[in-house]
Structure 1
Amino acid sequence: MAALVYFRKIFEDSEVVRYEFGDDHDSFSRRLTMRKVPRTSVADDGLVDYTFLKALRKINALHTERGQWPERGMSAS
């Protein structure tokens, strides 16, 4: 079974970065907020599930690779 998650940045300031994410690139159903220091995150709806973790891991990987928070992206497995 394939799993897809899409995300896009909707807000960033000096302390937090916020993303919309979901399995439909045209209609994001959820949001996550990440504190930059320390790098901690929460699902805005409180649901820490596979989709949330998949989006979070890809966002963190892209940030580590590029040195900046990605504007958008996707992860497939």
Structure 2
Amino acid sequence: MAAIVYFRKISETEERVEYEFGDDPDHVERRLTMDKASCTSTVQDEQVDYTFLKTSRKLNALHTERGVWPERGMSVS
């Protein structure tokens, strides 16, 4: 069974970057915040599940690869 998650940056400061994410690109209600210094993330709804972890890992991978936090993207597995 395939899993897909979409994400979109909604704000960025010196310390943090915030994203909306979800499994439907037209309906991304959940939010996560990435701490830039530690590259750790927290989820606003406190639901630490596969979708949140998948999004967090993809964001960290893209940041490591590109050196910037992505504006938007998706992860498929």
- TM bin, normalised by shorter chain, reads over 0.9
After TM superposition, the structure 1 = structure 2 runs for residues 1-77 of structure 1, keeping only pairs within 5 Å, are: 1-77=1-77
2:35 maps to amino acid: R
| Cα distance in 2, alignment partners of residues 51 and 3 from structure 1 | 9
Which runs of 5 or more structure 2 residues have no equivalent in the other structure?
none
Deviations 1:22-54 (A, max 9, x none): 000011020000111122210010011000000
The alignment-based identity, stated in percent, is: 69
Give the TM-score of the pair, scaled to structure 1. Answer: 0.96
Matched positions, count:
77
Detail structure 1 runs of 4+ shifted over 3 Å in the superposition: none
1:37 maps to amino acid: A
Which runs of 5 or more structure 1 residues have no equivalent in the other structure?
none
The CA deviation at 1:60 is 0.6
| Cα distance in 2, alignment partners of residues 3 and 23 from structure 1 | 8
What's the RMSD between the two structures over aligned residues?
Answer: 0.6
